[in-house]
A and B are shown apart, each in its own frame.
Chain A
């Protein structure tokens, strides 16, 4: 049963210059396509990871799933409720089922609020009972209940991220979207937070949408991984399949380029080129300018995400070796 169902999700930003400039300089309007026709499903109680570099649109997708951004096209369905079309009452009902954990532990907490107020706010906003809730949640994330009266600046980065997790749990959600939750943390702290998230998932039956640029973290946490490039989903598979036998050339490049802990003195052939401009994406397949397998068809036609077994790939020459 899929808790989250994303279909043909697209988001376009208008980045044109102000009207006056355009009139005087005779410039056309400019649009940035951050997300282009992305579809995937997340099973209940599973961890779905979205992996990509900058400009891949993963954060934008995360924001659309939780309702912070409206999609330009496509649908986001959570627990059967279509976020775009449902009535306000319905959206209000499932609002407490969706929560988000952000990347920056320093900007995620209001510096002027006490930790207790921060943690219970999701429950307080719906008029629920908040007595003792903060202390209980603090214990669950491994902090002391005595910390409830402190201010965020008295905590380290890892501890703040745990407070964010506690806040996310306050409304008893079903889905938690994690936008690079450990990217700003040190390795040892990251391990603590990731373990915590795994434990909570088992304990509360949570579903995670885990957004990251770090392949190693994703490999450890995810049940299913979706690889994004320039706003398009290029491959989707289970971690074992993805890392053992990547089908899309971009995935292959990504795995190859990631530093390996036992790669002493490894001479990597670095990838060529850079991520193209999302305002003027290449025709056809977005990756073709850098792809060692590119043929004429790739610059003319955009490949569609196709199912092969339990995996999906968007490439005309998927699986072929160079």
Chain B
């Protein structure tokens, strides 16, 4: 068994506020193997972006990691000093954020930004770094890369900018790529292009990908495995066909029913009653029980941690499809 590229071991994040301590991420565990794409799906407030930020060490104060470990290629990275973490970021972990407009420095040409990153992590010297940058831009599909390398970000369209961001994330050849809603701000056709690019380039390099999004369709087509988060906790994780096609957790099941594609015909969409609880007011026991059609007494007192179920894990006392 190869060591997984990324391993989360009961990772928890806390934010102390004047209303009490909030837990946006609560004992989340999963791992991602080399060349695998893990989709992390959940609605807003579920904690998926916070998990990504915790992995890469970019938690805004006063949020902090309060428990568990993050292991990259077998080595702990959650307890590194900021200087050490800076070396890890970029070189071993690449990050693609949602908004390409703010991910790129508007005052530097993309050539400068790429060369700077390549040089900083691979120590190639500026000239060689520039060649690498041109090759990287070619690879992500920027036409006439040699001419456009000296353009500024505002001279590109949204889709092109996101390609540049992907090039930037991958130029130092990281083993893990974290993509946080990379296509949410893009049009459907551009989204298809970016997703295809991401899949191809990560497969080619054998990078592990953590794809965070709320779009189930993107997950269905892109991910190998899926992790579903709810109120900071992991609800279900497993191969994509299993989680989306035959979901075990009632929340996942409800989510799939609420998606318009699933309900062909003009009848009402199946809806989950209520709303995701605020972190300051989490229910006792399982966070989903107030909205769950299968909730019973046990669910109100005891939150179940994930247990193995077929090829995946699910955190439910009464998973769907169980006898």
Chain A interface residues (CB < 8 Å from chain B): 53-54, 156-159, 186-192, 194-195, 198, 213-217, 219-220, 253-254, 257-268, 270-271, 274-275
- Looking at B117-125, B262-270, B297-305, B313-321, the stretch in contact with chain A turns out to be B262-270
Task: Check: B102 CB closer than 8 A to any chain A CB.
Answer: no
Q: Contact string, B190-230, partner A, CB cutoff 8 A, digits 1/0?
A: 11110111000000000000000011111011000000000
Looking across the interface, which residue of chain A has its beta carbon closest to that of B278?
A156
Interface contact A195-B221, CB-CB below 8 Å? no
Interface contact B261-A260, CB-CB below 8 Å? yes
- Min C-beta distance of B214 to chain A, whole Å: 6
Say which residue of A194, A213, A260 sits within 8 Å of B269 (CB atoms): A194
Looking across the interface, which residue of chain A has its beta carbon closest to that of B157?
A274
- Min C-beta distance of A271 to chain B, whole Å: 5
Given A213-B187, A259-B221, A264-B240, A187-B275 contact (CB < 8 Å): no
Q: Among A159, A186, A253, A271, which residue has the most Cβ atoms of chain B within 10 A?
A: A186
Interface contact A188-B188, CB-CB below 8 Å? no
List, in ascending order, chain B residues with CB within 8 A of A191's CB. 258-260, 269-272
Interface contact B188-A53, CB-CB below 8 Å? yes
Q: Contact string, B138-161, partner A, CB cutoff 8 A, digits 1/0?
A: 000000000000000000011110
Task: Check: B189 CB closer than 8 A to any chain A CB.
Answer: yes
Interface contact A260-B187, CB-CB below 8 Å? no
List, in ascending order, chain A residues with CB within 8 A of B217's CB. 216, 258-261, 263
Q: Among A157, A188, A192, A271, which residue has the most Cβ atoms of chain B within 10 A?
A: A188
- Interchain CA distance A190-B215 in the complex, whole Å: 12
Given A263-B221, A265-B221, A190-B258 contact (CB < 8 Å): yes
- Interchain CA distance A274-B157 in the complex, whole Å: 9
List, in ascending order, chain A residues with CB within 8 A of B128's CB. none
- Interchain CA distance A156-B278 in the complex, whole Å: 10
- Interchain CA distance A9-B191 in the complex, whole Å: 30
Say which residue of A190, A194, A215 sits within 8 Å of B188 (CB atoms): A215
List, in ascending order, chain A residues with CB within 8 A of B14's CB. none
Say which residue of B214, B245, B260 sits within 8 Å of A186 (CB atoms): B214
Say which residue of B192, B215, B259 sits within 8 Å of A268 (CB atoms): B192
Beyond contacts A188-B254, A264-B220: 4 other A-B pairs, Cβ-Cβ < 8 A, are A220-B260, A258-B192, A261-B220, A270-B197
Given A189-B275, A195-B271, A264-B220, A219-B188 contact (CB < 8 Å): no
Given A188-B254, A216-B260, A274-B157, A259-B190 contact (CB < 8 Å): no
> Size class of B's contact patch?
35 or more
List, in ascending order, chain A residues with CB within 8 A of B192's CB. 257-259, 268, 270-271
Query: Which residues of B in the span 77-120 have a Cβ within 8 Å of any Cβ on A?
Result: none
- Interchain CA distance A88-B322 in the complex, whole Å: 66
- Interchain CA distance A192-B240 in the complex, whole Å: 26
Looking across the interface, which residue of chain A has its beta carbon closest to that of B251?
A188
Interface contact A158-B269, CB-CB below 8 Å? no
Given A53-B189, A188-B43, A257-B191, A216-B221 contact (CB < 8 Å): no
Given A191-B270, A220-B260, A274-B218 contact (CB < 8 Å): no
- Min C-beta distance of A45 to chain B, whole Å: 14
Interface contact B256-A270, CB-CB below 8 Å? no
- Interchain CA distance A264-B43 in the complex, whole Å: 21
Interface contact B193-A187, CB-CB below 8 Å? no
Given A258-B188, A260-B220, A216-B261 contact (CB < 8 Å): yes
6 A-B residue pairs with CB within 8 Å:
A191-B259, A216-B217, A216-B261, A263-B220, A271-B189, A274-B157
Interface contact B220-A259, CB-CB below 8 Å? yes
List, in ascending order, chain B residues with CB within 8 A of A253's CB. 189
- Min C-beta distance of A180 to chain B, whole Å: 13
- Min C-beta distance of B322 to chain A, whole Å: 23
Task: Check: B44 CB closer than 8 A to any chain A CB.
Answer: yes
Task: Check: B244 CB closer than 8 A to any chain A CB.
Answer: yes
Q: Among A53, A191, A194, A213, which residue has the most Cβ atoms of chain B within 10 A?
A: A191
Query: Which residues of B in the span 158-203 have a Cβ within 8 Å of any Cβ on A?
Result: 158-160, 187-193, 195-197
- Interchain CA distance A157-B268 in the complex, whole Å: 21
Task: Check: B241 CB closer than 8 A to any chain A CB.
Answer: yes
- Interchain CA distance A268-B269 in the complex, whole Å: 27
Looking across the interface, which residue of chain A has its beta carbon closest to that of B262?
A261
Looking across the interface, which residue of chain A has its beta carbon closest to that of B185?
A54
List, in ascending order, chain B residues with CB within 8 A of A263's CB. 217, 220-221
Interface contact B215-A186, CB-CB below 8 Å? no
Interface contact A261-B187, CB-CB below 8 Å? no
Looking across the interface, which residue of chain B has its beta carbon closest to that of A159?
B275
- Interchain CA distance A262-B243 in the complex, whole Å: 11
List, in ascending order, chain A residues with CB within 8 A of B258's CB. 187-188, 190-191
Given A188-B271, A189-B275, A274-B157, A266-B261 contact (CB < 8 Å): no
List, in ascending order, chain B residues with CB within 8 A of A264's CB. 220-221, 240-241, 244-245
- Min C-beta distance of A282 to chain B, whole Å: 16
List, in ascending order, chain A residues with CB within 8 A of B279's CB. none
- Min C-beta distance of A305 to chain B, whole Å: 22
Task: Check: B15 CB closer than 8 A to any chain A CB.
Answer: no
- Min C-beta distance of B292 to chain A, whole Å: 13
List, in ascending order, chain A residues with CB within 8 A of B50's CB. none
